[in-house]
Structure 1
Amino acid sequence: MLRPLQQVILARGDEVSWFLEGKEVDGAFLKPSETQLLSIDDVKAWRPDAVFVPGNVVPSFIPGVKVGVFHGFNAGKMNHKGREDHFEIRDCFDLYCTQGPATTLPFIRLAEKFGTFKVAETGWPTLDPMFTDNVDNPYKRDGDNRPTILFCSTFSRSLSCAPVVFEQIKAMSLQGDWRWLVQFHPKMSKEIVERYKSLENENLTFVETDNVLPLLQAADVMLCDTSSILIMFLLQGKPVVTFNNHTQRTHLVNVEQLEDIQPALEKVLTRPPELMAEIEQYCDEIHPYRDGYSSERVLAATDKLIENGIADLKPKPLNLLRHFKMRRKLGYWKW
């Protein structure tokens, strides 16, 4: 997720180190050339000028300006306070780098309200390779000109369509008219994963990867439910069929009956002009930057913040409980 930023930082002669926290982050994915800081003491000794965070919080006792770059798009999910989680201010960041007008404007209003952070619309660095990488794609098959369908599903049991559409996908994959790629979030139930692995045949491939961008590039159409990965797919100007997605969005083709899935896929493969126009309008609001230079814009905004300082920002609320929880989680009690 942060490697496009790392690439640009290193290219201009600066240094990068990684600090990983939480059970959901696997250090085994780091490359031998990537430096990992193993403790908060290591981080403080390294003295970063800026800390780029794809999560929701970052400790105040880590040096450097704190830059929020988000771990996905706003999927409209509500937190326990009944507020959209994407716009929850947790008093941790000095700068939010937003993805497009749909999120920029709400964050600007929040910045005016709180006065503790700045906002810059930059686009999402994670997507830079999707718009710039032209290397051989491992998910494309030379000589096979059949349409490729990518099936993704959220891991949430209450929202996932994976258990429901299993037999339908099995039947469609055996028809052989299309190539199927199937990929799930790492949190997906192991039982569901194993069921879909059992479907593998010459027409269907189950993929386990930490880099979904080549999959998105390889497919012509996506079948999904409510997973926010569908937004990333749409940004390529490609259509998405959803099953039981209740957002009522005109840039999606939603079906609620199993027998309607195949006709919907057949329809969107023709790229109806009205649907494609709706997709384009939606993408302009969500993420209009399709030049592959969002990382450069994030760094430019960060450089500006470091150069100008944060003295004009209001002090952040102490929020002692949140910071106590972060210290307890990290096992760090030095001051």
Structure 2
Amino acid sequence: MAEYLLFATERYALPILQPLADALQASGHGVSAWLVDGAAGARLPAPVRSVGLREAVALKPRAVFSAANWVPTFLSGPKVQMFHGFNVEKRDDARGHFRVRGLFDLYCTQGPATTAPFRALAAQHPHFAVVETGWPKLDPLFRDDGGASAALRAPANGRPTVLFASTFTERLSAAPHLFDAIAAEIARGDRYWLLTLHPKCAPELFDRYRSLVGPNAAFVETEQLMAAQRAADVLVADTTSVVSEFVVQHKPVVTFRNRAPKPHMLDFDAPSQLPTMLAQAFAPSASLRDALADYANAIHPYRDGRSSERVLAATEALLEGRFGRLAGKPLSGRLRALQIRADLGYWRPG
């Protein structure tokens, strides 16, 4: 049995790490989680152990899996980037999904759309390896979820179910703009709504959307998001990466002012258009169905619920040296590692 460490800086990373924890435990390994910043105080269910900085160092993990943009490099073991979302083009590539920070040894990519760019980057910066594994967060969409999604859908009593999700980025968020339109849809009652917001959204937005809870709507916490996606028939959203997650199921998505609208989206600009867009989503055309399938295959073609196992296999291949000798980390990465030490107040040898 080996010891492995999970690392996260936000609560929304927990559903990414949980399937990986399950796969590690199923293989007989010990799993600890070091959760900091926005994830501090959160926990993954036992038998995952919650640890702090000194415990994480003393653990000497065989590998560290990070669902954050950074990871403390003074920890033992290779550092594996799990990603905290899909590439939804909120920012340009150099500042967004394809930014190489010089901290990670292995990038486990989600599908062809991200694998090719990262392999091109690895050719330029050979201090990391790239393996396409799929994304552990989506494993529960394609495995037995213990009835979690069925429980969320049960109050619908046979009605079609809509999930609303919104990003926290103020200039991109649909939540402030669509509240009245969604409230009207919920009041009508012909569909059941599951409502969720990014944990970083303003508290007053949470209060407004929670006020809609009743016989026609429920509010879903971040930890329930995967079950909610499985339960819903249609998604209403904006530029959140939940759009891509939902599309992997080949289900229609309605997007409000998406930053980079694509053929698989039913994008709209005016809140008054919401009823019309929902009608289209619940009766998708053949061309829309084809676009959904094409996009899903590009970003995440895996529907076997075993991405976590592929991540573990890729990590083992790295540990065994099957990717050859990696180059040393660049100066930018070493400087960033020093800044992380300073931020954490830790200067002892790793």
TM-score scaled by length of structure 2: 0.90
1:263: which partner in 2? 276
Matched, 1:99 2:110: yes
**Long gaps (5+) in structure 2:** 1-15
**Long gaps (5+) in structure 1:** none
Task: Determine what percentage of the aligned residue pairs are the same residue.
Answer: 43
Secondary structure, aligned partner of 2:327: coil
* Partner amino acid, structure 2, of 1:128: D
Aligned pairs for 1:183-194 within 5 A? 183-194=196-207
* Structure 1 residue 44 displacement after superposition: 2.5
2:303: which partner in 1? 290
1:52: which partner in 2? 65
* Structure 1 residue 64 displacement after superposition: 0.2
**Contact 2:172 / 2:259 at 8 angstroms: preserved in 1?**
no
Per-residue CA deviation, residues 65-116 of structure 1 (Å, 9 max, x unaligned), is 111111111111326xx72411111111111000000000000000000111
Q: Distance in 2 between matches of 1:211 and 1:177?
A: 23
1:330: which partner in 2? 344
Q: Distance in 2 between matches of 1:143 and 1:204?
A: 8
1:21: which partner in 2? 36
Matched, 1:155 2:168: yes
1:111: which partner in 2? 122
Matched, 1:225 2:234: no
Secondary structure, aligned partner of 1:17: strand
Match of 1:90 among 81, 101, 113: 101
Secondary structure, aligned partner of 2:33: coil
Superposed CA RMSD in Å reads 1.7
Q: Distance in 1 between matches of 2:155 and 2:213?
A: 19
Match of 2:178 among 157, 165, 172: 165
Per-residue CA deviation, residues 281-311 of structure 1 (Å, 9 max, x unaligned), is 0011000001101011111111111011776
1:176: which partner in 2? 189
* Structure 1 residue 59 displacement after superposition: 2.1
* Partner amino acid, structure 2, of 1:122: T
* Partner amino acid, structure 1, of 2:118: F
* Partner amino acid, structure 1, of 2:339: K
Aligned pairs for 1:112-131 within 5 A? 112-131=123-142
**Alignment CA distance shift 1:217-1:256 (3 Å):** same
* Partner amino acid, structure 1, of 2:233: D
* Structure 1 residue 209 displacement after superposition: 3.5
* Structure 1 residue 32 displacement after superposition: 4.3
* Structure 1 residue 178 displacement after superposition: 0.6
Q: Distance in 1 between matches of 2:63 and 2:220?
A: 35
Aligned pairs for 1:197-276 within 5 A? 197-276=210-289
Q: Which moved more, 1:226-235 or 1:300-309?
A: 300-309
**Alignment CA distance shift 1:119-1:32 (3 Å):** closer
**Contact 2:145 / 2:227 at 8 angstroms: preserved in 1?**
no
**Contact 1:125 / 1:295 at 8 angstroms: preserved in 2?**
yes
* Structure 1 residue 143 displacement after superposition: 7.3
2:11: which partner in 1? none
- The size of the alignment, in residue pairs, is 331
